Structure 1
Amino acid sequence: MFGALITAQPAIAAYDFPQPKSDVILTIVPLGSDTPIKLDRVGLGGLPRDSFTTSTIWTAGVSEFEGVRISVLLDALGVRSGTIKFMAVNDYAIDIPVADLLENDPIIAEKVDGEYMSLREKGPLWLIYPYDTAAKFQTSVIYSRSIWQLDRMQVLE
């Protein structure tokens, strides 16, 4: 399975991430630590969940997306500033300022319409915004930040 990598700022995480018992989908490596935090679906699902319904320019119709708000994950990691580099399986990468992430608060979606996303369906993780709620989410900048097949994240200073 593909995993994601996050390099967080040196801070004590506010959340005690559990040890994975199945395939790791998210690996978090805090700066200054040799011990990565590895999350399976259960571990990531232990964070508060959220969902919204929206259409996208990449899919047909309206769908419900479910996952963890980026603000929740960043808070659990103790990350409040900087820039996050998001990288996909195909090496697409995009840098997003933490301030913008916190202002717009997209979801790191694992599910669409109640089903986990496969790699073919833009999974296992997709950074997704509520496009239908406001014109500010229907811009080329936001679309370029809507990275699917997410497998790595790194906090930049």
Structure 2
Amino acid sequence: MPLLSRRTKMALLVAGLLGTFIGAAPAAWALDAPKGKVVLTVKGKIGASNRGGTAVFDLAMLQALPQKTFTTMTPWEKAPVKFSGPLLRDVLAAVQAQGNTLKAVALNDYKINIPLEDTRQFDMVLAHRMNDQPIPVRTKGPLFIVYPFDSNPALQNAVYYERAIWQLGALEIE
């Protein structure tokens, strides 16, 4: 049983293509309700929601979005790590995010502000897998915002390392 309807998946695909090719805003659609445990809550300046004025996702909903995989070094591991998950910009397109800042909040209440421009400029992944394995909470999961650090030397500094938040639980669009 799909967690995103065929219509929603098609709308996400079309919105992503339009955004990529012509910079258009995504068309309106409704998010399906999560069927499993909620792993991500998105609120603030969003145009699509599925729980009041908030958008909530279970892991299957995030896995239903197009997936991106890359391998990169991080300051927290001794060897390159393979990360997989949807591009953060696709998650934000699904909720029709508007604004300038993304406030990311971890399960332990750590907070960091990320400019929304980063999601357009870099292929940031909302990782739910590390080295092809689900990310347990005790390590850095279930969700981890990861920049492709090895793709651009400018990303290899404290500013971007601090924005790579693990144990992500919520996003607020400001």
Per the normalisation by structure 2, the TM-score is 0.75
Q: Does 1:116 align with 2:134?
A: yes
1:13 and 1:47, CA in 2 relative to 1: closer, same or farther beyond 3 A? farther
Q: Which residue of 2 aligns with 1:54?
A: 72
Q: Aligned partners of 1:63, 1:151: CA distance in 2, in Å? A: 22
Counterpart of 2:4 in structure 1 is none
Structure 1, unmatched stretches of 5+, are: 1-10
Q: Which residue in 2 is equivalent to 1:97? A: 115
Alpha carbon RMSD of aligned pairs, Å?
2.2
Q: How many residue pairs are counted as aligned between the two chains?
A: 146
Residues in 1 aligned to 2:122 and 2:142: alpha-carbon distance in whole angstroms? 22
Measure how far apart 1:70 and its partner are. Answer: 1.1
Q: Show structure 2 runs of 5+ residues with no match.
A: 1-24
Structure 1 residues 1-157: aligned runs within 5 Å:
14=28, 16-29=30-43, 34-156=52-174
Shift of 1:15: 5.2
Q: Which amino acid aligns with 1:72?
A: D
CA contact (8 A) 1:13 1:77 kept: no
Distance in 1 separating the partners of 2:164 and 2:58: 22
Larger radius of gyration: 2
Distance 1:77 1:132, change over 3 A: same
**Displacement of 1:150:** 0.7
Query: Percent identity between the aligned chains?
Result: 34
SS of corresponding position for 1:120: coil
Which has the larger displacement, 60-69 or 75-84?
A: 75-84
- Cα deviations across residues 83-139 of structure 1 (Å, max 9, x unaligned)? 110111122111111112211231010000111101111001100011112211101
Bigger mean CA deviation after superposition, 117-126 or 26-35: 26-35
**SS of equivalent to 1:102:** helix
Match of 2:162, SS state, is helix
Q: Tell me the amino acid that sits aligned with residue 18 of structure 1.
A: D
Distance across 2 between alignment mates of 1:14 and 1:76: 9
Is the CA contact 1:117–1:123 (under 8 Å) kept in the aligned structure 2? yes
